[in-house]
Amino acid sequence: MKIIKDINEMQSIGEAARRAGKNIALVPTMGALHEGHLALMDYGRSKADLLVVSIFVNPIQFGPKEDFEKYPRDLERDSRLTEKRGVDLIFSPEPKDFYPEFFQTYVNVEKVIQNLCGASRPGHFRGVTTVVCKFFHIVRPHLAIFGQKDYQQWRAIWQMVEDLNMDIEVFGYPTVREADGLAMSSRNVYLSPEERVSARSLSQALKEAQALFRKGERNSNILLDRVADLINQQPHTRIDYAKIGHPRTLEELTVIKDRGVLALAVWVGSTRLIDNCLLEDKEQ
């Protein structure tokens, strides 16, 4: 497995692979890899001839008070893990090459980013869609794999690809969880042992809401009150938002006619965790 830092080199490899008729899959990550990321890679491996994983802590998607500096970074460990999963290439450019001094072009999806994390983290999704658009031009993938754990991110990228006629399949992989239900995240390492216990309440609340939904509850406020109760009962928790939106547009739903997505962002101590689930009649 090769680690590529040079942008032109990556682009030449992508182009050559395309010309040779190879199918390219890309899994964009910020590193600090866990089983959730690795599951995306396994999926990519099963679909592609050339599997590329990008590892890049993208400065332009972090707000000024967010954890860009302290975000965990360990390229050596990440490369051992990816190699074991059959990844062909890691693309890990230097921020100064990726965003040179005169950089000034951004991609902005307008509607699906307004609610949820887009409201709490101004500029975040502009940073995400811009970095992913650049990766698409550099790596030239046929398939790009994202986690449904970052539901709004997945939808924003899907929308960008649709609106800008990018010839790339965007796949949303289901959320991979710890045994007790906590969604795997690179940020879970920030949690103290007590906070880790409280963090379970996110997935427990989602499960409870799904159960109520399947029993016929369609009123968002009733579902969200129950979610808030369960989370607020735990120490160290503070809800940033808990909302139910349309699965495609992410517009808020007061009544769920058919399907909805219940999305949460919760501070547990000084760590902000997100999670979500679909509300629909069939089991996920």
* Of the residues 82, 159, 185, 188, which one makes contact with ligand AMP according to CB under 6 A: 185
* Residues 213 and 223 sit within 8 Å (Cβ to Cβ): yes
Nearer to ligand AMP, 173 or 190 (CB): 173
* Of the residues 124, 149, 236, 272, which one makes contact with ligand AMP according to CB under 6 A: 149
* Of the residues 4, 17, 24, 29, which one makes contact with ligand AMP according to CB under 6 A: 29
264 binds ligand AMP (CB under 6 A): no
132 binds ligand AMP (CB under 6 A): no
Beta-bridged to residue 207, according to DSSP, are: none
Distance of alpha carbon 253 from alpha carbon 53, whole angstroms: 36
Distance of alpha carbon 198 from alpha carbon 182, whole angstroms: 10
Residue 212: burial class (beta carbons within 10 Å; 0-12, 13-18, 19+): middle
**From 62-70, 104-112, 178-186, 230-238, span contacting ligand AMP (CB under 6 A):** 178-186
Nearer to ligand AMP, 87 or 176 (CB): 176
* Of the residues 150, 156, 223, 263, which one makes contact with ligand AMP according to CB under 6 A: 150
Closest residue to bound ligand AMP by CB: 147
Angstrom CA distances, 88 to 35, 60, 74, 105, stand at: 18, 27, 19, 30
* Of the residues 175, 188, 201, 220, which one makes contact with ligand AMP according to CB under 6 A: 175
37 binds ligand AMP (CB under 6 A): yes
**From 113-121, 169-177, 203-211, 240-248, span contacting ligand AMP (CB under 6 A):** 169-177
173 binds ligand AMP (CB under 6 A): yes
139 binds ligand AMP (CB under 6 A): no
Residue ranges with strand state E in 49-176: 50-55, 89-91, 143-147, 169-173
Does the active-site annotation cover 37? yes
Distance of alpha carbon 101 from alpha carbon 59, whole angstroms: 14
Closest to 166 in 3D by CA, of 140, 187, 205:
140
Distance of alpha carbon 118 from alpha carbon 89, whole angstroms: 31
* Of the residues 183, 223, 224, 256, which one makes contact with ligand AMP according to CB under 6 A: 183
Q: Quick one: tokens of 170?
A: 């965007």
Q: Annotated catalytic sites, by residue?
A: 37
- Using CB under 6 A, list all residues that contact ligand AMP: 29-30, 36-37, 40, 146-147, 149-150, 173, 175-176, 183-186
